[in-house]
Amino acid sequence: MVKAKGFVRKTKQRGAILRVLRNTDTHPTADWVYQEVRKEMPHVSLGTIYRNLKTLVEMGEVQELCYGSSYTRFDGNPHRHYHFVCNECGKIEDLELDCIDELNKVVAREVSGRVYDHRLEFYGTCAECMAEESVSSQDA
Ligand code: ZN
Ligand code: MN
């Protein structure tokens, strides 16, 4: 009985985390997810959030995005898609670009092996940061 209760709680926590991630396209950090889930479940711990995020990634429900030294970000969209990352503000945008499956074949030839998948990230300056830049250059 105790075990069953624990299981229900765990499932509820995981469901809440997944809901938070599915309802945003901002690619948040674990800490942001924690703050959101806490609004619904005030007693949840950051450790629980981390553990469940790891499980959700393993289940293929959530994608983990690592960008060098900055915090790991999480993506509630499990389907393959490309990202644009702003170097100025760190924002991550989903691209409506079709994935280029041809690239897998090109790389497979290159390595004389088999390619199952690829990830592609574009880096630059987003529209908002561009607008800010032009405003501050007018001031100068
Ligand atoms: Zn930006
Ligand atoms: Mn995404």
Strand partners, 29: 73
Q: How far, in Å, from the CA of 115 to the mean position of ligand 1? A: 33
Q: How far, in Å, from the CA of 140 to the mean position of ligand 2? A: 36
Q: Do residues 13 and 28 touch, judged by C-beta distance below 8 A?
A: no
Percent of the chain with pLDDT over 90: 75
User: Taking all residues of the chain, what is their mean pLDDT, rounded to a whole number?
Assistant: 91
pTM: 0.83
Q: How far, in Å, from the CA of 80 to the mean position of ligand 2? A: 8
Ligand nearest to the CA of 78: 2
Q: How far, in Å, from the CA of 2 to the mean position of ligand 2? A: 38
Burial letters 3-27, b for 16+ CB under 10 A, else e: eeeeeeeeeebbebbbebbeeeeeb
62: its two tokens: 């959530």
Q: Do residues 48 and 94 touch, judged by C-beta distance below 8 A?
A: no
The 10s digit of each residue's pLDDT in 19-70 is 999 999 999 999 999 999 999 999 999 999 999 999 999 999 999 998 776 7
Neighbours of ion ligand 1 (CB under 5 A): 86, 88-89, 91, 126, 129
pLDDT of residue 113: 97
Q: How far, in Å, from the CA of 83 to the mean position of ligand 1? A: 13
- CA separation for the pair 35, 44 (Å, rounded): 10
Closest CA to 19 of 72, 76, 68, 80: 76
The 10s digit of each residue's pLDDT in 78-136 is 999 999 999 999 999 999 988 899 999 999 999 999 999 998 999 999 999 999 988 88
Triad 76, 82, 87: Cα angle to 5°: 95
